[in-house]
Structure 1
Amino acid sequence: MDTCQLPIPEPASQDWRSRGSCRDVDPIVFYGPDRERAAARRRRVASAKAICQTCPVKRACLRQSLRFPEPHGVWGGLTADERSNILMERALAGREVDSAAT
């Protein structure tokens, strides 16, 4: 049986995560609970985006979520739907994903 080895990221390539403003925040702020009501979701997303707004690694976070599409949560100050729209626009324009985060 063939096995597949996943690449092990170099510590330096993931270092930005340890500097994120979200590092000590409960992940529920960025991902939300199941069956969340619309008003509660809007408040939670606004809170998550506020944390991202002044984050020193916001661009790296967004870039990561666009390179390896993250279907849930707030990453780099954008929701999954907002990131999906960026990816769709870039695909339609024939542009690289990395250019969306710059």
Structure 2
Amino acid sequence: MTQAPRLPGGARKHWMGRDGVACGRPGPDRFFRASGARGEDRAACERAAKDVCALCPVQVACLRHALDVREPHGMWGGLTQEERRALIDDPAALATV
């Protein structure tokens, strides 16, 4: 199994050190699916991460950060990299975040 990428120093410190951040409890590995995950395994990983994000008090700020820096990996603010890319490609949708 592929090891999940580590958050860059600045981003990891910024988000993981905040009180109440939901992703701090399970740790960041849950938010970076294994590169080989496909089908139902991939969907289950994404659902588990989204469930945590849905309860997070900084979900919107996390998503905005990921969009601002064009974060290419992992689940941020409840969206996968593919979902974030689609938002970036649609200026009208991006304006709603």
Amino acid at match of 2:53: C
Q: CA deviation at 1:43?
A: 0.3
> What stretches of structure 1 move > 6 A for 4+ residues in a row?
none
- Pairwise CA distance, 1:17: 5.4
When Rg is computed on C-alpha atoms for both structures, the one with the higher figure is: 1
Instruction: State the distance in 2 between where 1:15 and 1:51 align.
Output: 14
Q: Which runs of 5+ in 1 are unaligned?
A: 1-8
In the TM superposition, residue 27 of structure 1 has moved relative to its aligned partner by: 2.4
Deviations 1:16-64 (A, max 9, x none): 8513100121323211113113211100100000000111000110010
User: Identity over the aligned pairs, expressed in percent?
Assistant: 33
Corresponding residue for residue 50 of structure 1? 51
Counterpart of 1:46, as a letter, is R
For 2:15 and 2:44, how far apart are their aligned partners in 1? 29
RMSD of equivalent CA atoms:
2.3
In structure 2, distance between residues paired with 1:50 and 1:44: 10
C-alpha distance in structure 2 between counterparts of 1:82 and 1:74, whole Å: 9
| Structure 2 unaligned spans of 5+ | 1-9
Q: Which residue of 2 aligns with 1:28?
A: 29
Query: Which residue of 2 is the match for residue 18 of structure 1?
Result: 18
SS of the residue corresponding to residue 23 of structure 2 reads: coil
Under a length normalisation based on structure 1, what TM-score does the superposition of the two structures give?
A: 0.71
How many residues were matched structurally?
Answer: 84
